[in-house]
A and B are shown apart, each in its own frame.
Chain A
Amino acid sequence: MYFQQLLLLIIHKFQGERSSTAPYYLLKGKKSGQTIQDVTYFQLHPYFSLYPKLAKETYEEEIMKLHAEGFIIMNESMIAITEKGLHQIVSVRRPFYNGWILRGNEFIFWGRVELIVQTLSQFQGNEKKFVPVQKNNEIHHFVKAFLHERDFQSKTFVANFKKQLFHLLENTQLLEIHRNLFVYRLSGYKNSGLTWEQLASHHHITVLDVKFLFIECLHILLNEITEEKYPDFHALTKDIYVQTPLTDSANKTSKLFEKGYTIEEVARMRFLKRNTIEDHVIEIVSVNPNFPVGSFISDEQIQQVLQIAQERQTKKLKIIREEIPDLSYFQIRLALTKGEEING
């Protein structure tokens, strides 16, 4: 139910202006112009790239269930929430996510915590040779360095680390189920963590619900961690926030713009289509409101587009363009992206 409510919430935010694949690409974190631009249009930052491994079939199954329940209506070009669907989400707790800047990296944080707890637990059990649950080599190196910088075999370190973890989990933003999922997934000396399936059956919820609750738990914890309150855990958040939320390709384009090249020139230099570079522009503007757009569209034109969008209560490019055929789709998209920044 939890995941379905999340889906309903996202569908609601799309305001009936996108097709049924849009929420899927959003959760997967697809780095296409359309998805990135929608994040800004519809204020979907929390949900971007929440679950890159989401399978299309799984997603479609959930959508079909929502449809069968009458919570949504859909056709080939759009998906929207119904009155009945709205009732499902009005009174529930708003989930807390930070997808835009975490993008799945919360699992790096998790892997570090998991390996540290396993190591400390094994050392307490006096069995220093053990197979790590965590297989990622980079996490191994990180944790090794982390532990060596600290007196990790001392009682005080373990006690202190545990205390920080305990306080972190007592955070009132978390539900009891969040805390249980987090701790029961951990492994230690003669004490393995539980699989998603086992966690789900213990709590009588679906595997998908478990995974999204777990991700939410990590996002809430990360949001809570400050250097003053949780010094050791703060160290574990190193490099997990996305610095430039731009894709590598858009980043290259951005650098060329800074040097003063035009769209055509950039396209030629990078052997890319003009469309792709236009997508990059939208992406850059979404991320960086100060990026100058004067060479692509005038302030007046932006205002014009926003006014039409306002009057007609739509963000559909086709409808807007019917009124100002002089502007390209790219210019309309750009205007709408700028508009979100002004209003948002």
Chain B
Amino acid sequence: MDKLTEVLTRKFGYDSFREGQKEIIEHVIAGQDVVAILPTGMGKSLLYQLPGYLMEGSVVIVSPLLSLMQDQVEQLKMLGEKRVVAINSFLSFEQKEMAFRNLSSYKFIFTSPEMLQNERFNHALSDIRIAYIVADEAHCISQWGFDFRPDYLRIAKWLQHYRQTNVLALTATATTNVVHDIKDTLLMREPYEYIHSLDRPTIAYEAIEVKNAQEKLAWILGRITSTSGPGILYTQSRKKTEMYAHELQKRGIRVAYYHAKMDQDDRILVQQQFQQGQLEWICATNAFGMGIHKDNIRQIIHDHIPTSIASYMQEVGRAARDGAQSIASLLFTATDVEQAFYVAMQDFPEEADIRLAYESNNIQLQLPETTARILDYWKEELTEQETTRLFQTIKQKKWTEIQGLYTMLQNGVCIREQLLHYFDEQLTNRPKHCCSKCSLPLQEILVDRKQLSEKSEEIDWKIKLDELLHS
């Protein structure tokens, strides 16, 4: 057995690498910059974890999404790795100081882009040996990415201090433009690029145009009560997640809603219930999905046109991790385009906001948090005119993208082909069950829902306590 496979087995419990993993890891170990694009669920975390065990020094992972960071730390700890730390704004001053003092004792150091500006942290980092730097969710670096985080752009200045250290950029979805931005911002020198096909052959696509919201609801209730999950129903507002969950509950479905306004404890419980099979369906906003480790999701339903193709791919990609046939259904009406654009533009700075930002130093009080954060960044980099022009362009692009998505759903062309085309990829092998424009024998894809035996939901704490702890 070669050394890489040996570590793979010993540390991670797998017998063999998946496609692409080994090449990427070899390049990281060889000290080369790497950009790797792999669809969700293809073993991305292994790419930054494994080389760490074969190299001296700590791995610094910059991750823009705090909830994801928490999940990654937990996953590593579950593998038995104790030398993990997450340095972010959740830590108290004392906890940070403690972490800085012991920095070299950690193999994996997770941190957020904003922490890169912390002087004490940088001082501590300069004293330790860094094996390589990982930019996770690298698409957030690009303003063309669907999840643009202006804070993340500050990584460019920070990286100037680490010109000798190689960088590994990871993301699940990126267009050519986004890849270009990533390489640029991360100051990469002739990086090794690995782009995995974004196609997921076992996910069939279904687009259904309906007249109005009532028809949508009827369709959704019909589908979920008659066919089998587990599944996620994505919708755009907290209210709607609750409405759908309520309607489905009335029809005997084991379902819960999930959105960002819930208590953290409750969110975790819902995730666990879903993972353990206590729930068949989740009605969720796009807040649901990160850190869900469930292999057997069979259906994803969208009741709206998503605000970007990349985010749609990510949400759909949560199905079929086990490789078994699954289906992604999208319901839309003609007016959903405007709605999607409205949602996409919610925190987007208007011309007046931009003027305000350049005139005043205290925009936090007057603008939504995200808007203020974005403008605070650009104010340091560009003139007012340039910023205004920049946002006009982005807005225009966004509109084109959403329109494009709408056309994609409506026209007669294969959905899979069009989705891949957006990421500059050609479809090479059409799966048997492709999409509603090609061939889609639903009876072969969907499984009839078994009516659950009406287990009396009697509440008795003594019984539950016995289930939890056997005597």
Contacts and interface: CB of A to CB of B under 8 A. Distances in A.
Contact of A202 (B79, B270, B278, B459): B459
Contacts of B273: 192
A179 B461 contact: yes
Nearest to A176: B461
B461 A183 contact: yes
Contacts of B461: 169, 176, 179-180, 182-184
A133 B268 contact: yes
B467 A133 contact: no
Contacts of A159: 471
Nearest to B86: A137
B469 A121 contact: yes
Interface residues of B, number: 29
B364 to A, nearest CB: 21
A186 B266 CA distance: 12
B450 interface: no
A188 B469 contact: yes
B459 A187 contact: no
Interface in A163-202: 165-166, 169, 176, 179-180, 182-184, 186-198, 202
Interface in B339-370: none
Interface string B264-287: 111011101100101000000000
B256 interface: yes
A253 B448 CA distance: 70
Contacts, number: 78
B74 interface: yes
A239 to B, nearest CB: 16
A120 B469 CA distance: 7
Contact of B78 (A131, A158, A179, A186): A131
A117 B457 contact: no
B468 A130 contact: no
A187 B266 contact: no
Interface in A126-171: 129-133, 135, 137, 158-159, 161-162, 165-166, 169
Given A182-B461, A202-B459, A192 B470 contact: no
Nearest to A53: B263
Nearest to A132: B74
B452 interface: no
B269 A121 contact: no
B469 A162 contact: yes
Contacts of B470: 124
A162 B465 contact: yes
A117 B468 contact: yes
A344 to B, nearest CB: 36
Contact of B464 (A133, A162, A183): A183
B16 interface: no
Contacts of A124: 469-470
Nearest to A196: B266
Contacts of B265: 133
A183 B467 CA distance: 11
Interface string B440-471: 00000000000000000101110011011111
B70 interface: yes
A184 B463 CA distance: 10
Given A159-B471, A165-B465, A188-B469, A193 B269 contact: yes
A133 B457 CA distance: 23
Contacts of A131: 74, 78, 272
A304 B263 CA distance: 50
A121 B468 contact: yes
A193 to B, nearest CB: 5
Contact of B266 (A179, A184, A195): A195
Given A131-B78, A198-B256, A191 B269 contact: no
Contacts of B95: 137
Interface in B72-122: 74, 78-79, 95
A133 B278 CA distance: 16
Given A182-B461, A190-B276, A135 B264 contact: yes
Contacts of A169: 461, 465
Interface band, chain A = 35 or more
A179 B468 CA distance: 15
A121 B272 CA distance: 15
Contacts of B276: 190-192
A188 B467 contact: yes
A124 B79 CA distance: 20
B288 to A, nearest CB: 14
A196 B263 contact: yes
B28 to A, nearest CB: 26
A186 B278 CA distance: 14
B270 A180 contact: no
B272 A187 contact: yes
A178 B459 CA distance: 12
Interface string A197-220: 110001100000000000000000
A6 B70 CA distance: 38
B79 to A, nearest CB: 8
A137 B73 CA distance: 12
A186 B256 CA distance: 18
Which residue, B74, B263, B461, has most C-beta atoms of chain A within 10 A? B461
Given A131-B272, A135-B70, A186 B459 contact: no
A170 to B, nearest CB: 10
Contacts of B469: 117, 120-121, 124, 158, 161-162, 188
Contacts of B268: 133, 135
B245 to A, nearest CB: 9
A157 B74 CA distance: 27
Nearest to B470: A124
B267 to A, nearest CB: 9
A243 to B, nearest CB: 19
B269 A133 contact: yes
A258 to B, nearest CB: 27
B346 to A, nearest CB: 21
Nearest to A186: B468
A133 B263 CA distance: 13
Nearest to A169: B461
Interface string B245-266: 0000000000010000011111
Contacts of B264: 135
A55 to B, nearest CB: 11
Contact of B269 (A161, A162, A179, A187): A187
Contacts of A197: 256, 266
Contacts of B459: 180, 184, 202-203
B252 to A, nearest CB: 14
Contacts of B78: 129-131
Given A121-B468, A202-B457, 12 more contacts: A120-B469, A124-B469, A133-B272, A165-B465, A176-B461, A183-B461, A188-B469, A189-B468, A191-B468, A192-B269, A192-B278, A203-B459
5 contacts: A131-B272, A162-B469, A169-B465, A183-B464, A195-B266
